[in-house]
Amino acid sequence: MALAESFAAHPNRAEAPLSPARSFGARPDYPGEAMDELRTWVDEIAALTQPDRVHWVDGSKAEHDAIVDQMVDEGRLIKLNPELRPGSYLARSHPSDVARTEGRTFIASEREIDAGPTNNWADPAEMREKMTGLFAGSMRGRTMYVLPFSMGAVGGPLSKIGVQVTDSAYALISIEVMTRVGDAVLREIAEGQPWVRTVHSVGAPLAPGQEDEAWPCNDDKYIVHYPESLEVWSYGSGYGGNAILAKKCFALRIASVIGRDEGWLAEHMLLIRVIDPNEKVYHLAAAFPSACGKTNLAMLRPTIPGWRVETMGDDIAWIRPGEDGRLWAINPEAGFFGVAPGTGESTNVTAVETLWGNTVFTNVALTPEGDVWWEGLTDEAPAHLTDWQGNDWTPEADHPAAHPNSRFTVSAAQCPQIAPDWEDAVPLDAILFGGRRATNVPLVVEATDWTHGVFIGSNISSERTAAAEGTVGELRRDPFAMLPFCGYNMADYFGHWLRVGAGLRFDRAPRIFQVNWFRRGSDGRFLWPGFGDNSRVIDWIVRRLQGEVGARVSPIGRLPHLEDLNLDGIEVPQEDLEELFHVDPSTWAQEADLTEAFYDTFDGRVPTALTSELSALRTRLASSAS
Ligand code: OXD
Ligand code: MN
C-alpha cells in the first residue's frame, strides 16, 4: 500500500470490539504476559505510594460523570451554570501551583552530556533514590487512578501509548480530554505494543481523618524524565503541564528522544490545513514559544476572501518522513489545553465558540450568573466577579480577575473548524517558526534551504510570557520553541533536524519560514494588525509554494516584494510596511553575536553546518552594511 494510503487507512481505530466489560474501576483481567507486566508495575507503584484504593480507568462516560460529581461534592470543581456553559466546570489551583516549573524539571539521562546545557540534568541513580523517598506513602488516603492512554488515534501508524498513574482526579479528567483513554488502549498493550510509564503524585498524603485541600500539592516539586527507560515521574504539582504527563513530558520530552532514535521529530508545533480560493490544500506546522498566539493561528479565520483554515492541532506535532520523501504529521493530542486570557470574540472567535460547553476551566474568574470570564474575553470587564482565587473583584482591582496563565481544557472535536480528518496524518508543505519580537525580526522571511531553516529554528527567541515562571517581557532564547521540551542535548537535536532533512526528497521537503506578528515601531505601536490578518502572510507563503511570486534576497533570508502582499481591505501605512521588513545589519550583527554565545554553551557540539550558516550570515551582513 502506498504510504499516503496507509496513513489514511488507520485499520485498527477503536472500532473493533473491546475487551470484556469489567466492573467500575476494577483491575482488568485480560490474559497475557504484557498485561501481567502492566499489572505488576501498577502493583509496585501502589506498594510504594500506598493509596487507599486503586481505580483502573475504563474511559466510559458513566465513570467520568461519577468522578466529576464526586469532585463537585468535595469542592474541587465548581459546576458552571448549565444554561450558560453546559457540562463545564471551574477549578481553582493553589496560588503557588499555576504554571509549569521549569526549574524543577529534570532530564535524568545516564550521561550529563545527553541532557545538554539547556536542561537540568540529574544523576538517574541519585534521582531514583530521591523519588522513591518522596513517593513512599505519597498517595496515602487517596485513590490512585490508572489511565492507559494513546497519543494519536488508537492503533494509528504514528501513534504511541502510555500509562499514567495519578492520585489527582483533576489530572484524570484533563487527561481524558487531552488523550484517548480507556480499554481500547489496554487491548493494544495486551497485544504487545510498547508503552511509556508515567507516575504522578500531588505529594499530599492524608492522615486518617485529615481534611483535604481543594487543590492538594506540595511546595517541593520534581518533574523527572528518564530518557533511557522512557519513564516520567512527577511529584508535587497538580498544574496541567506538570500533571498531564502525556503532554509536555511524554509527547515532547520523551517522544523527542524516541524520535531521535527512530528517525522522526516530536515538535512543539500547531498543525493546520490551509485551503486557497482554488480549493488547493496545504498543510503547515508552526512552532511558537508558549503563549505567543499559537492557538490563534491554529484556529485562524482568514480575513481575505476565499481562504479557509481547518484546525488539526494547537500545540504538538509528531512528524515522520514517509516513503514518498515527504514529511507526514499528526497531532498526537485529543484536546486543547489553551491559555484563556486574550482569547476573545475579536481575537479568536473559533476558540470562544469551541468553549461553549463541556470545558474544564482553571483559574479563570467566575461571574455572578455562574459563567466564566477572563481578561480579553470581552472588551469590557463585568462590573462584578469572583477572581481566580475566590475573592470579590471589580474592574478597579489592582490585579487581573483571571490568572494570566489560566486555562481551558476542551476536546479538539468540539472546535467548529476542526478538519474532518484531523486524527489522520497529513503531508507537510511548510514549517513556520515564530516568536514575539518587538524589534529586528521581519513579519516573514523565507529560509533559503533546509539547513538555513534549521539555523533559523535554532535561533528563535521570544519575549517571556506567563506560561512558565520567570520575568514577563524578558527576551528568552527558545530554539524551535523546544527549549523547555527537548528531552536530550539540543545540539544533537539540531543535528537530528539536519539528518531528517537530508533524508527527504529535496523537492518535497517542506519549505521553512520565520514569522513575527509582534514587531513594534519606534513609537511602541504594533506595526501589523495580526490575528485574522495573519492570513495575508499565509497567502504569501502559499503563493511562494506555488511558485507564483518571487522574493527579494536579504542577508537574513528571502523577503516578500511588498507589492506581493495582499493588503486589500486593511490600511498599513507604507512606512510601517517598510519598517516591518527592515533589516538593520548592525542590530543583526548583535543577534549573530548572541547566536555565537548561545552555540558556545554547547562546547563544540553544535553541527558544523550551523556554525557555517552563522559565518555566512555575518559575511552577508558585513557586505550589506558596506
Ligand atoms: C503550553 C506551553 O502550555 O507551551 O502549551 O506552556
Ligand atoms: Mn505549548
The two counts, helices (H) then strands (E), for the chain are 16, 32
237 residue type, one letter: S
Residue 418: alpha-carbon gap to chain centroid: 17
How far is Cα 557 from Cα 551, in angstroms, rounded to an integer? Answer: 9
616: CB partners within 8 A, 6+ apart: none
Q: From the CA of 336, which ligand is nearest?
A: 1
Residue 464: the pLDDT is 64
How far is Cα 5 from Cα 30, in angstroms, rounded to an integer? Answer: 33
User: Does residue 90 lie in a domain region?
Assistant: no
Catalytic center residues: 292
User: Does residue 257 lie in a domain region?
Assistant: yes
Q: What are the pLDDT digits (tens) for 292-331?
A: 889 999 999 999 999 999 999 999 999 999 999 999 999 9
Same domain, 273 and 233: no
Same domain, 271 and 164: no
Per the prediction, the chain carries an average pLDDT of 94
241 lines ligand 1 (CB under 6 A): yes
CATH of the domain at 349: 2.170.8.10
How far is Cα 118 from Cα 484, in angstroms, rounded to an integer? Answer: 8
Same domain, 461 and 568: yes
- Hey, which residues does 233 pair with through a beta bridge? 199, 224
Same domain, 177 and 255: yes
467 lines ligand 1 (CB under 6 A): yes
Confidence of residue 468 (pLDDT cuts 50, 70, 90): low
Same domain, 317 and 340: no
CATH of the domain at 434: 3.90.228.20
146 lines ligand 1 (CB under 6 A): no
Distance set, CA 240 to CA 322, 429, 569, 581 (Å) = 33, 31, 40, 38
State which residues form the domain around 586.
266-334+421-625
Residue 31: the pLDDT is 86
Q: From the CA of 462, which ligand is nearest?
A: 1
Same domain, 369 and 279: no
Q: What are the pLDDT digits (tens) for 487-498?
A: 999 999 999 999
Q: Kind of pairing, strands 195-201 and 160-166? A: parallel
User: Does residue 156 lie in a domain region?
Assistant: yes
Could you report how far apart the first and last alpha carbons of the chain are, in Å? 57
Across 66-95, average pLDDT: 97
Same domain, 328 and 382: no
How far is Cα 79 from Cα 91, in angstroms, rounded to an integer? Answer: 9
Residue among 357, 471, 329 nearest 81 (CA): 357
Domain stop point among 414, 443, 476: 414
Confidence of residue 467 (pLDDT cuts 50, 70, 90): low
User: Does residue 138 lie in a domain region?
Assistant: yes
In total, how many domains does the chain have?
A: 3
* CA 230 to centroid of ligand 2, rounded, Å: 21
Percent of the chain topping pLDDT 90: 89
Q: What are the pLDDT digits (tens) for 613-622?
A: 999 999 999 9
Cell numbers linked to 460: 528563535
How far is Cα 442 from Cα 433, in angstroms, rounded to an integer? Answer: 12
How far is Cα 595 from Cα 579, in angstroms, rounded to an integer? Answer: 23
102 lines ligand 1 (CB under 6 A): no
Same domain, 190 and 207: yes
Q: Which of 430-434, 467-471, 569-573 has the lowest mean pLDDT?
A: 467-471
User: Does residue 92 lie in a domain region?
Assistant: no
Same domain, 360 and 459: no
Q: What are the pLDDT digits (tens) for 575-614?
A: 999 999 999 999 999 999 999 999 999 999 999 999 999 9
* CA 540 to centroid of ligand 2, rounded, Å: 26
Q: Whose CA is nearest to atom 4 of ligand 1?
A: 290
How far is Cα 285 from Cα 552, in angstroms, rounded to an integer? Answer: 24
- Hey, which residues does 274 pair with through a beta bridge? 282, 309
* CA 442 to centroid of ligand 2, rounded, Å: 23
Domain stop point among 352, 381, 414: 414
User: E strands, 334-383, where?
Assistant: 335-339, 360-362, 365-366, 372-373
Q: What are the pLDDT digits (tens) for 29-56?
A: 888 899 999 999 999 999 999 999 999 9
Contact 163, 134 (CB under 8 A): no
Same domain, 474 and 460: yes
Same domain, 355 and 456: no
pTM metric for this prediction: 0.95
Q: Which residue is associated with the grid cell 481534611?
A: 211
The DSSP secondary structure of 314-336, one letter per residue, reads SS-EEEEE-TTSSEEEE---SEE
Q: Kind of pairing, strands 53-56 and 143-151? A: parallel
Q: Whose CA is nearest to atom 1 of ligand 1?
A: 290
Domain stop point among 414, 439, 461: 414
Same domain, 473 and 540: yes
DSSP 27: P
* CA 232 to centroid of ligand 1, rounded, Å: 18
